Amino acid sequence: MKSIILKTASNYLLPLLLLFSVFVLLRGHYLPGGGFIGGLVASIAFVLHAFANGLSNTKNLLRVHPGFFIPAGLTLSLGSGFAPMVLKQLPFMTGVWFKDPIPVIGMIGSPLFFDIGVYFVVIGVSLTIIFTISESA
Amino acid sequence: MTTNFIIYPILYQAITAILLMFFWRNPKTQRLLSILSSSFGLVLAVSLFVFIWQNGTTALQAGNWAAPFGITMVADTFSASLVVLTHIVALAASIYSSEKVISSRIKFGYFPIFHLLIMGLTGAFLTGDIFNLYVWFEIIIISSFVLLTLGGRHHQIEGAVKYFTLNMLASIIFLTAIALLYGITGSLNMAELSVIIPQIENKGLVQLIAIIFFTGFGIKAGVFPLYFWLPASYHAPPAAVSAVFGGLLTKVGVYALIRVFTLIFDLDEFNSTLIMVTAALTLLSGGLGALVQKDIIKVFSYLIICHIGFMIAGLSMNSQVALIGAVFYMFHDIIIKSNLFLISGLTSSIMGSSKLEKMGGLLNAYPKISLLIAIPLFALVGIPPLSGFWPKLSLFGASLSSGNYTLLAFMIFASFITLFIIARIWNQVVAKPKPGKFPENGFNTYSFKQKAAFIVPIILLSLVTLYISFGAEHIQILAERISNELLNTEQYYQAVFKTINP
Amino acid sequence: MIAAVLAGFILAPVFAFSKKILVEKTAKLFALLPLILFVYFVSFSGQVASGEVVDFTYSWVPSLGIDLNFRIDGLSTLFLLLITGVGTLVFFYTSNYLKGHEKLSRFYAYLSLFMASMIGLVLSDNVFLLFIFWELTSISSFFLIGFNNTQEGSRKSAITALAITGFGGLFLLSFAIFSGGLTGTSRISEMAEMTEVFSSGTSSVLLLIFLLVAAFTKSAQFPFHFWLPGAMKAPTPVSTYLHSATMVKAGVFLLLRFSPHFSLNEWWSPVLILFGAITMVYAAIHTLFRTDMKGVLAYSTISALGILVFLIGLGNSYALSAALVFIVVHALYKAALFLVTGIVDHKTGTRDLTVLSGLRSFMWPVAIAGFVSAASSAGIPLFIGFIGKDLIYEGTLHSAMIWTTVVAVLTNFLLGYAGFAVGIKPFTGPKPEKSIAKPSAVLWFPPVLLAAGSLVFGLFPGLLEGIIIPAYEVTGGQDFHPLKIWHGFNLVLLLSGCTILLAILLYRFWKLNPEKETFISRFDPIAPKTILLKASLLFEKMAAFWTRTAQNGHLRNYVLIIIVALITALIYHLIGSPLTYLDQLIWTPLEWGEVVVVSIMFVAIIFTVFSKSRLAAVAGLGVVGYAMCFIFVFFSAPDLAMTQFTIDTLTVILFVLVLYRLPPYLKLTNNRLRIRDGVVSLAFGALITLLALEVMNESPARLISEFYAESSYLKAKGKNVVNVILVDFRGIDTLIEITVLSIAAIGVFGLLKLRLKKSEK
Amino acid sequence: MNELFMIVVISLGTLFILLAAVGLVRMPDLYLRISVTTKAATLGVGLLLAGTALYFFEVSTTTRALAIIIFLFLTAPIGAHLIGRTSYFVGTPLWKRSVMDDLKGKYDKRTRELMSSEEEQKRTEEQN
Amino acid sequence: MTLQEYIHYIIIPILSLSGVLVFIRFLIGPSLSDRVVALDLLITIGIGIIAVYSIVNKRETFLDIAMILALIAFLSTVAFSYYLEKRKKNE
Amino acid sequence: MELILAILTGVLYAAGIYLILRRSLVKLIIGLVLLGNAINLLIFLMGGLVEGNPPIISGEEKVLAEGFADPVPQALILTAIVISFGLQSFAIVLIKRAYQVVKTDDLDQMNTTDKIE
Amino acid sequence: MRIQFLLNIILTIVWMFLTGSLEVINFVFGFILSFFVLWIISHTNKSNKYFYLAPRIIGFFFYFLYELFRANILVAADVVTPKFYMKPGIVEVPLDAKSNLEITLLANLISLTPGTLSLDVSHDRKVLYVHAMYIEDKEKFIRSIKNGFEKRLLAILR
Ligand code: NA
Ligand code: NA
């Protein structure tokens, strides 16, 4: 859409929303949020940017095709399920954790990486779908 | 030692799919990778089966959360066998796809999704959690849906709309049933449900929920009057995909029905009558439908429905013999139906059409192929001693000994109509002279590799059929053991609740 | 033994894929296969004659009671010798008859397949095994009949034959299973000791029906007979083999095999006699009107089969031995006549009896064979047929029913005519104008040999006793009456004489011409074939109607049917056992905000459903989603509220992106449909509400939830329990779920981006 | 005292929201509805959030409330602008008692570009 | 009367009433834009309700939901505007 | 409230089914979305209704406070929501593609594949 | 570069707001995160003027709040009374604001005040079209905007 106002605002809303999405992702284990919502918020950020600036600009911004996030995220999630199998001979998807929490994020363990994988998959999926639709409109 | 190996076949397909995604634009690599990994997947599946055969039902508590708190994956003989069959079909379809599926489809994710479909099927067979089963079903739906539409041709879209809507409806009904089940039991673990359900006093409510389950699975299994999505869509995708659809998709529904109605719900008078009536009408309407179709793929589609009736009939009679028949029939049917769709793909490509009136001349032009396809065709009919014959012994026997003569009549009718239809197909495709000419860039012009990709999977599946036929004793013993396990739910329960890993 | 049975099966593909040249050269040698088998089976005749049985057992599928139980006894030996003996001649004959035929190798493959099935069939002492070979004979005869696959007629005949015999086969399967279940064994010989199973109770009636349907279809009894004349479309060697000694006799074999079992069943005799009699008369009359040699033979075969069934039904010692002798008699003369017909056809190019005459000078050995066989067929003394006929009359006379003798005479003299018509007519009379090539010895030798058999056994019937008596004993007969040419002057002799006389008179004065065939074809509309054909057409129409009605392409019909089916099942059950306690629920009190949200949602749903504009509907959908979000807020589900909200927004975006390209809603459905659908939907909704309320009465122990409440932080290190469930307790669900998403995305990408070219399929 | 202040803030916020709702129903044209509602509601919610922040009175809650207010103040006017602009563009009419419409005819039908009066004059001159 | 009771009996009903009014506008339209504006306002009111609801229940967790709503609610407005701008003339 | 929500669930189901029974593909998809909501609400009801006590361990607590809302249905719904989002997006795109290929949104015109030729 | 840094700091502060923790480690984490986010979106984000004058910002904030309340009450009176006193219309307001950010902020602020709504900016960015509820005198209205919001805003931004 040819609106300077939207365009300008979206440029500032994008980082804000992205930041917010990471925030939602990381706190998911303790408070409402998590990979899905985080991923959805992040996708919405890019969608907004695309509405305002046109699809090609947003794609340039992303540098890679959004579809790339899908296998990447899947690998991360699946990998965090594998970690206990490979590392400790435990059943698939068993949570393995570092001993001490780190500030801001809290405990670091395989479920966290799993959730991050979810986050990326959701971004990849939403953006692939919406971008594809827009392009073929 | 953990029991992680139960889900190796699942994880393996997932890894394959992801790997294939990374080779998105490279059809050659994808083809090779797919065949290689399908072969290795089969090895994994077989070794799983061997383990289960030797050690009995085994469970994996995912996440190391003791049942019923996490998701339990359970491999018993039934599911392990089905996993093996799935992987056999997958290998065949994979080889078949390697030349038959055009590279533009491959560049749009054909192979990753194909492997995810296989993963979904495997998962559905192995899960011991009712909601998890729903999730696996969704994998199956979405991947089959994508494979169905890939290419986006007119008939594909039309088929897909129906396929999608009715399968979504099935999922919604299934999920409704799960919700209600959770509402009365507070559990999702199938082994635990098998213990809780009998203790519930409100039997009527349990039965209503059972009906909803039956409807949901019935749509997937393609029983009367819920099968409409099947004939409307199976002709749409490439033959390799139809093969997986034809062989396995409905069988997952049948599997779910058998599992749920042996493990969780009682097959009491009402349920078994309901299922029996359904089975009879399925046999009838599938047969009638197949009789009037003029396109080979549609004939096969209706025959799928018709023959689902046999398995459902086996379930409905609620006896060990009948269950043996149902299970045996299922094994036979998976291989046969997959093979038939591969064959329909082969013959259509030889003839340039899948319409029966435009086909013909196979016997004179391709005698060896004719002999090859005679095996599955007549095995489908149940010409003894080919594979379709054996389960009928148990099914007919069970209906005779339990006095279900009407059901027997329907089974005889279905067998007869199948015989007639297949004989007619034989006449029209194989024996009759070809009307018009064979297409110019037809089968004969293919390279050796292309021909092999066509023929090898059919040979592979036909060999399996021959094994089922002449090694019927093995399959019979297998089916007996499966029916034992299905009827003695205690064993399943023990397997799920004993294994708490160190 | 197993090698003997399997030899045909194994050699079939070898034949099929041998090089054509090789087959041409070695075809005569193929006859060695049946010959060796013949010799092999003859080697048992000594043991068999002394009343021994030889059993061979190989394990196959013991858990189903199906093993390879082969038994050589009198009955099987009789059939084995016919199968392999006639087989040898047919194999030999074919090598010349189909010389140069493109598909000769395939023919031999089918033939040996068929022979092997037949051998297996008569050897089986296992009722399942019997069925297996039974079906194999059906299927291999399907190939044989349809051998001329480029001709539509022969394909049609093949499918008719398969349909009828296959239909019967399913009854044999039922018989096998049922009898196996009732007797606890699958061995036919062991079953024979449990006659009570086969003679009393409803189950025995069922068993009888199963068996008879199988036998009658295979042995072409009225009204299943019509596949047999159609099967004449096959090359003559096939007809010879199928209709004289093998395929159609399988049904007779079955009846003989099980006649001891059913000996006490009161229905056995009357039913067999009735069907046998109808068949033999009906078919015999038909022979009069046929002008095609093969047509005459076909109907005379049916008639002969009727006689056999009739005799087995009579069941007295004369009738039984008559049946056994007649099997041999019929095999000898019918095979010879078929072969003769083949030669005539091969050399003259026609089988039309109104045209053929005077061939004797071109093919005198063939003519002799024809004459001898015709004589045997008419029961002229000194030929084996005479002995057969005598026994038949003995049999009927020993039954209490006079009419049986009448129909026997009637049938026999008509059959005598048929024999003359085929075996004599073409060779007598004026010579044809054109000269006709002489048949090679390979062609004429087999019929001559068969004719010689008719003569030799006719002169020395005692030679036959060696195989007839053991068979007779196996079928439950006692006190065999020795086979003699001369019984003295008695009623039987008189009847025989009359029969012959009548046959000769009929042959003299019955003028065959095409009008005769036209005449009989007037009865076609009421012939079983037509009726069945019409019925099957009607059936197909019904099937088409039904399929078109059910699968009418309208998605909403499918949905409607599914929903109505579900509603019906639920309501049906509810009527049987109504729900009990809806009143015990403790309700959560109403709150302002909740009521407003729910009310808005109600209205928004209705708005969405009835909106005239798509976009308004999508907006309405948005409201519904946001209202859901607030329900989640009010009832303690923050994660759900967040997800619902974001996804709802994304869904709206998707709809919007897609919809602006589409034309507006069309107003399509009429009010009647709206009301119907409305009622169905509301009924479904009401049922769900009812179920939900009923379920909420149950208060199961939520052990799982309590475990999560306690261990979420302590064991899984997370405080948002829902999130912990998603990423840990039930992580697999989530893993699959993101896979679903991934597939959807790939699918969308493919659906919109992939454009196939015309050439790509 | 503190509680009373909270009650005032919250009541005020609620009133503004009610005002927005009434305005939305009553106002005669779309632009007026947007004009009245977006801001009144934003202000109202802002006040409610302020009340919430005061109630909990701790850093994490306050920052969250503040974040929500910032988000709302960032997004609400943009939404209003967009929907107003597009509505005008697709021809949603002004209230009949409106006194002026400077926008009339300024959108180029084809390119959808919006001209200023100055630019419009220029173009007219060029064309002449 | 405590603050909770005040909110429960006075504030929430008024907010709910506002919601109903806005929803009426949504229903009567007349244009799609009117509906979009109404939808937007509904969500804004929802944020308000959530805010006071968190006071009633003394759980600040609910503010998190409000945060999401505040950030992305306007996106559907953007989408509908996009639609209006791009759609064909025939609706 | 349970009664009202149960009725609401029923209404959602009814509305969804009714829309699926229309001839328009767009209505069909909207119907499926409504059914998705219906099923979520049903699952939600099955866990029992709890006000103001989300299954989140607050502050320094180590276990959930008594009277918590059942987290299991919530997790199930989350999964179900996300799955139906995936399926719905695909379905929505299918509308688009169907319109491109079949040139209509009328389902009654999408019946060629079921015809017996 | 400087502006990038400033943005980075601002985002970091937003992050600390969001997480509700003022610890140093959170600052570091927020800084890294914001840096990353900015890196992602960096190359289309053409540099702009940025605000740096805190007092003016605060002053402006209160001016805005004042305007917000004043206008709201004005409108409220009209909404709740049965008769409408308004004279609405669309006014073309010439802009001194030049950059995208300036225009956007101005337009949003105008929109946020009840009774006025920024409809669109002309293609050449010279005028802003505003829908207003009370237009007694067009020139006066334009002046009130230019002397009110625009002047104060530009004073901060330039
Ligand atoms: Na979460
Ligand atoms: Na875990």
* Mean pLDDT score across all residues of chain B: 91
Angle of helix C247-258 versus helix C293-314 axis, rounded to 10: 0
What is the ipTM, given to two decimal places? 0.93
Query: Into how many domains does chain C fold?
Result: 4
User: Could you tell me the sign of the dihedral formed by the alpha carbons of B336, B339, B344, B347, in that order?
Assistant: negative
Residue ranges per structural domain of chain B: 267-440+461-488
Q: What number is the average pLDDT over the span G75-86?
A: 83
pLDDT at B283: 95
Give dist(CA E44, CA E46) in Å, integer: 5
Instruction: For residue D104, give Cα distances in angstroms to C67, D97, G102, G124, G128.
Output: 96, 16, 25, 17, 14
| B452 CB-contact burial (10 Å; exposed 0-12 / middle 13-18 / buried 19+) | middle
| Binding partners of E (≥3 Cβ pairs within 8 A) | A, C, D, F
Q: Which domains does chain D have, with CATH numbers?
A: 2-97 (1.10.287), 99-128 (no CATH)
In this prediction, residues F83-111 reach a mean pLDDT of 84
| Inter-chain residue contact F56 with E57, CB threshold 8 Å | no
Same domain, C163 and C176: yes
Report if residue C627 sits inside a domain: no
Report the pLDDT value the prediction gives residue G42, as an integer from 0 to 100. 60
Q: What is the pLDDT of residue C669?
A: 64
Which residue in E61, E72, E82 is closest to A44 by CB distance?
E72
Residue with tokens 């007979």: C225
Look at residue G80 and give its three-state secondary structure: helix
Average pLDDT over residues D25-54: 88
3-state secondary structure of C512: coil
Residue G47 has pLDDT above 60, yes or no: no
**How much is the CA Rg of chain A, to the nearest whole Å?**
17
Q: Which residue is associated with the tokens 């049904």?
A: C251
For residue A129, the Cα-to-chain-centroid distance in whole angstroms is 15
Is the CB of A91 less than 8 angstroms away from the CB of B60?
yes
Query: Would you state the pLDDT for residue C581?
Result: 60
Residue C435 lies in a domain: yes
What is the secondary structure of F7-35 as a DSSP string?
A: HHHHHHHHHHHHHHTSSBHHHHHHHHHHH
Query: What pLDDT score does C555 carry?
Result: 85
Interface of D with G in 50-109 (CB under 8 A): 59-61, 63-64, 66-67, 73-74, 76-78, 80-81, 84-85, 88, 94-95, 97-104, 106
Q: Is C674 exposed, middle or buried (0-12, 13-18, 19+ CB in 10 A)?
A: middle
B420 vs B382: CA distance, rounded Å: 12
Q: Which residues contact B462 (CB under 8 A, 6 or more apart)?
A: B339, B372, B375, B376
Angle between helices C74-97 and C104-123 (to 10 degrees): 170
Kindly state the DSSP code that residue C692 receives in the 8-state scheme: H
pLDDT at position A123: 95
Size of interface C-F (CB pairs under 8 A): 301
d(CA C230, CA C251) in angstroms, rounded, equals 18
| Residue G148 or F70, more confident | F70
| Whether residue B435 has a cis bond before it, omega within 30° of 0 | no
Residue corresponding to tokens 């109403």: C590
CA atoms of B409 and B387, how far apart (whole Å)? 21
Residue G53's pLDDT band (cuts 50, 70, 90)? low
- Inform me whether the pLDDT recorded for B160 exceeds 70: yes
Does C530 share its domain with C426?
no
Q: Distance (Å) from the C-alpha of residue E36 to the closest C-alpha of chain A?
A: 17
Q: What pLDDT, on a 0 to 100 scale, did the predictor assign at position C736?
A: 94
Q: Domain G50-157 classified CATH 3.30.70?
A: yes
Look at residue E37 and give its three-state secondary structure: helix
Final residue in a domain of this structure, among C242, C265, C288: C265
pLDDT of residue C509: 80
D67 three-state secondary structure: helix
How confident is the model at residue F116, as a pLDDT?
65
**Interface touch A31/E64, C-beta < 8 Å:** yes
Query: Is the distance from CB of C470 to CB of C73 less than 8 angstroms?
Result: yes
**Residues A102-124: pLDDT tens digits?**
766 777 888 899 999 999 999 99
For strands C54-61 and C66-72, give the pairing. Answer: antiparallel
CA C145 vs. chain centroid, Å, equals 15
Give the C-alpha separation, C614 to B302, whole Å. 37
User: What pLDDT was estimated at residue D89?
Assistant: 81
Question: Which alpha helices (H) appear in C200-316, and where do they start and end?
Answer: 202-218, 227-230, 236-240, 247-258, 268-287, 293-314
Is residue B480 over pLDDT 90?
yes
Cβ-count burial of C294 within 10 angstroms (0-12 exposed, 13-18 middle, 19+ buried)? buried
**DSSP category for residue C585:** P
Average pLDDT of chain C, as a whole number = 86
Judge: F93–A129 Cβ closer than 8 Å, yes or no: yes
pLDDT value, residue C117: 92
> Mean of the pLDDT values across residues G32-47?
64
pLDDT for residue B271: 87
Residues ≥6 apart with Cβ < 8 Å to F19:
C608, C609, F27, F28, F30, F31, F34
Q: Given C233, C249, C265, which residue is the final one in a domain?
A: C265
Is the CB of F51 inside 8 Å of chain E's CB atoms? Answer: yes
The residues spanned by each domain of chain A are 4-136
pLDDT for the residue numbered C714: 86
The answer on pLDDT for B217 being more than 90 is yes
For chain B, give the percent of residues with pLDDT over 90.
64
Residue E23, chain D, CB below 8 Å: the answer is no
Q: Which token pair is B208?
A: 């209503």
C227 and B CB contact within 8 Å: no
CA distance A52 to E78: 9
Nearest CA in chain B to F17: B169
Calculate the CA B179 to chain-centre distance.
26
**Contact at 8 Å (CB) between A37 and A24?**
yes
A16 touches chain F (CB under 8 A): no
Q: Which residues of C touch F30 (CB under 8 A)?
A: 608, 617-618, 621
pLDDT band at G50 (very low <50, low <70, confident <90, very high): very low
User: pLDDT-derived band of residue E91, with 50, 70 and 90 as boundaries?
Assistant: very low
pTM for the full model?
0.92
For residues C551-570, b (16+ Cβ closer than 10 Å) or e, as one string?
A: bebbbbbbbbebbebbbebb
Residue of E40, E28, E46 whose CA lies nearest to E80: E40
* Model confidence at B23: pLDDT above 60: yes
First to last CA, chain G: 18
- Helices vs. strands in chain F: H and E counts, helices first: 3, 0
Q: Which residues of C touch A95 (CB under 8 A)?
A: 716-717, 728
Residue F59: closest C-alpha in chain A: A30
Nearest ligand (C-alpha, residue C640): 1
pLDDT band at D1; cut points 50, 70, 90: low
In Å, how far from its chain's centre is CA C156? 15
Contact C414, C288 (CB under 8 A): yes
Consecutive 10-residue runs of chain C (761 residues): their mean pLDDT? Answer: 79 76 76 87 85 86 86 90 90 84 84 91 92 91 88 89 91 91 89 87 90 93 87 87 86 92 89 93 89 88 93 88 90 90 86 80 85 88 85 83 85 88 84 80 87 88 84 82 76 83 83 76 78 86 86 85 93 82 68 87 93 87 92 92 91 85 70 92 95 86 89 87 91 93 92 76 54
Quote the ligand 1 centre to A35 CA distance (angstroms): 7
Does domain F2-51+69-111 correspond to CATH entry 1.10.472.10?
A: no
Check CB contact under 8 Å for A13 and D85: no
C744, two tokens? 């959807």
Could you tell me which chain C residue has the CA closest to the CA of A69? Answer: C742
D18 touches chain E (CB under 8 A): yes
Residue contact G37–A18, C-beta within 8 A: yes
Backbone angles phi, psi at C584, to 5 degrees: -85, 0
> Looking at the complex, does the CB of residue E41 fall below 8 Å from at least one CB of chain C?
no
Please choose, from the candidates C506, F79, D48, D82, the residue with its C-alpha nearest in 3D space to the C-alpha of residue E37.
D82
DSSP class of B63 = G
And the tokens for E31? Answer: 């244009």
**Between β-strands G89-94 and D100-101, what pairing exists: parallel, antiparallel or unpaired?**
parallel
Highest mean pLDDT among B177-181, C550-554, F62-66, G150-154: B177-181
Nearest-10 Cα torsion for C429, C435, C438, C443:
-60
pLDDT of residue D111: 67
- Ligand closest to Cα of A111 equals 2
User: pLDDT at position E82, please?
Assistant: 85
| pLDDT > 90 fraction of chain G, expressed in percent and rounded | 0
The tens digit of pLDDT for each residue in C155-171 reads 889 999 999 999 999 99
Is the CB of A91 less than 8 angstroms away from the CB of B15? no
> Are the beta carbons of C219 and C274 closer than 8 angstroms?
no
Cα–Cα distance measured from residue C615 to residue A22, given in angstroms and rounded to the nearest whole number? 33
Residue in A31, A36, A132 closest to F56 by CB: A31
> What is the domain partition of chain G in residue ranges?
2-44, 50-157
Q: Is the pLDDT of residue D47 over 70?
A: yes
Tell me how far apart the alpha carbons of residues B145 and C740 are, in angstroms, rounded to a whole number: 11
Q: Return the percentage of chain A with pLDDT > 70, whole number.
A: 98
Residues C201 and C287 in one domain: no
Smallest CA-to-CA distance from C732 within B210, B25, A111 is with A111
Are C638 and E66 in contact by the 8 Å Cβ rule? The answer is: no
- Of C447, C477, C510, which closes a domain? C510
Q: For the segment C710-759, what is each residue's pLDDT rounded down to a tens digit? A: 888 888 888 899 999 999 999 999 999 999 999 999 999 988 888 777 66
Question: F11 or G5, which is more confident?
Answer: F11
Least confident of A28-32, B83-87, B211-215, C115-119: A28-32
DSSP β-bridge partners for residue B355: B295
Task: Say what the pLDDT of residue G43 is.
Answer: 53
Ligand closest to the CA atom of residue F77:
1
Cα(B119) to centroid(ligand 2), Å? 21
The domain containing residue C534 runs over which residues? 522-552
Q: Is the peptide bond before G94 cis (omega within 30 degrees of 0)?
A: no
Name B60's bridge partners: B73
Angle (CA) C345 C348 C350, round 5°: 55
